[in-house]
Amino acid sequence: MEGGDSRNTLFLTITKNNMMRTLKTLVLIASSVFAFINSHAQTVEELQQKYFDALGGKTKLASLKNIYQEANMAIMGMDMPSKMWIVFGTAMRQEIDVQGQKIITFISNDSGWSVNPLMGATMPQPLPKEAIKDYTSVLVPGGELASYKEKGYSASYDGKENVDGKPAYKVKLEKDSTESFFYIDEATNFITRNIIKTNVMGQEVEVTTTFSDYKKTPEGYIFPFTSVVNNPMIGEIKATVTKLEINRSVDIKELQKQN
């Protein structure tokens, strides 16, 4: 009996030690997972801050009141000059010249319209709310990534991926039925790609925009001067900025004109 008791005692001791080690391991794993989740939550904010810093800082962005931009757009083999006015926090107007006909889009915080003679719409047509929501991110200096909290997006860090052979941090923003992925270049902290997945009339649509040729203006603001949009409904649209004016005087009533 004494031998049996000794073996039982030894077995219980080994089992107890194993249980203790197992519990310790589980605690360490749980702690690691918790730290991993927290680090991801912090990483999005850190990446946002790096993005701010790359553009000159949050204070610098906040001093950006409006811009006027001219660009050459290449769509389906055609060159189309365009003009765009953005009064941050208030309104945007874009004009695209298509062989002598003008496509006009106007967006404010809660409404918008377009004139598109190529589609037979020579008078302003109201834009759907979904389209207005997509455009309103343009009214914030720095775009969606700069204001995702204020706009009610949830954010997560999705690791790294290569964009044109260069490593980039991947941040995912979600709201309603829209997912937006931002790729932030590891070396420069500029956004090099944005992929938007959304639902349009019951169909999932994915639009990819690639940004390049970042330049600093004489006022110290930094913008990408080249963007390429791949839209499955239109094809590839390449825009090259030819003129950029910062914080000039703008008459909102002029932007609202429907011609």
Confidence check: pLDDT of 37 > 90:
no
**202 membership: H or E segment, kind and range:** none
Range of the domain at 168: 58-255
Query: How many residues would you count in the chain?
Result: 259
Q: What is residue 231's predicted lDDT score, i.e. its pLDDT?
A: 84
**pLDDT single digits (tens) 228-241:** 999 887 789 999 99
Confidence check: pLDDT of 211 > 90:
yes
Q: Tell me the percentage of the chain whose pLDDT exceeds 70.
A: 83
> Residue 11 — very low, low, confident or very high, per pLDDT cuts 50/70/90?
very low
Query: Mean pLDDT highest for which of 65-69, 105-109, 195-199?
Result: 65-69
Phi, psi for residue 6 in degrees, rounded to 5: -65, -45
With respect to residue 47, please indicate whether it lies within any of the assigned structural domains: no
Q: What is residue 118's predicted lDDT score, i.e. its pLDDT?
A: 84
Q: What is residue 77's predicted lDDT score, i.e. its pLDDT?
A: 84
Confidence check: pLDDT of 136 > 70:
yes
CA 155 to chain centre: 11
> Residue 35 — very low, low, confident or very high, per pLDDT cuts 50/70/90?
very low
Confidence check: pLDDT of 34 > 80:
no
Q: Give the CA diameter of the chain.
A: 105
Confidence check: pLDDT of 49 > 60:
yes
With respect to residue 26, please indicate whether it lies within any of the assigned structural domains: no
- HSE toward the beta carbon, residue 22, CA cutoff 13 A: 6
Distance from C-alpha of 127 to C-alpha of 135, rounded to nearest angstrom: 11
Kindly report the pTM of this predicted structure: 0.79
The residue that leads in pLDDT, 16 or 186, is 186
Q: For all residues of the chain together, what is the average pLDDT?
A: 83
> Residue 46 — very low, low, confident or very high, per pLDDT cuts 50/70/90?
very high
Q: 222: which residues sit within 8 A by CB, 6+ positions away?
A: 54, 55, 56, 190, 214, 215, 216
Say if residue 68 is exposed, middle or buried (CB neighbours under 10 Å; 0-12, 13-18, 19+): middle
Q: What is residue 104's predicted lDDT score, i.e. its pLDDT?
A: 95
**Domain count for the chain:** 1
The residue that leads in pLDDT, 199 or 96, is 96
**28 membership: H or E segment, kind and range:** helix 2-54
Measure the CA dihedral 258/233/174/47, to 10°. -90
With respect to residue 48, please indicate whether it lies within any of the assigned structural domains: no
With respect to residue 134, please indicate whether it lies within any of the assigned structural domains: yes
**pLDDT single digits (tens) 158-201:** 999 999 999 999 999 998 888 999 999 999 999 999 999 887 66
With respect to residue 93, please indicate whether it lies within any of the assigned structural domains: yes
Sign of CA dihedral 234, 95, 190, 197: negative
Two structure tokens written together for 185: 């270049």
With respect to residue 12, please indicate whether it lies within any of the assigned structural domains: no
With respect to residue 19, please indicate whether it lies within any of the assigned structural domains: no
CATH number at residue 188: 2.50.20.10
Average pLDDT over residues 124-133: 82
With respect to residue 138, please indicate whether it lies within any of the assigned structural domains: yes
> Residue 114 — very low, low, confident or very high, per pLDDT cuts 50/70/90?
very high
Q: What is residue 131's predicted lDDT score, i.e. its pLDDT?
A: 75
Q: What is residue 200's predicted lDDT score, i.e. its pLDDT?
A: 66
Q: Tell me the percentage of the chain whose pLDDT exceeds 90.
A: 61
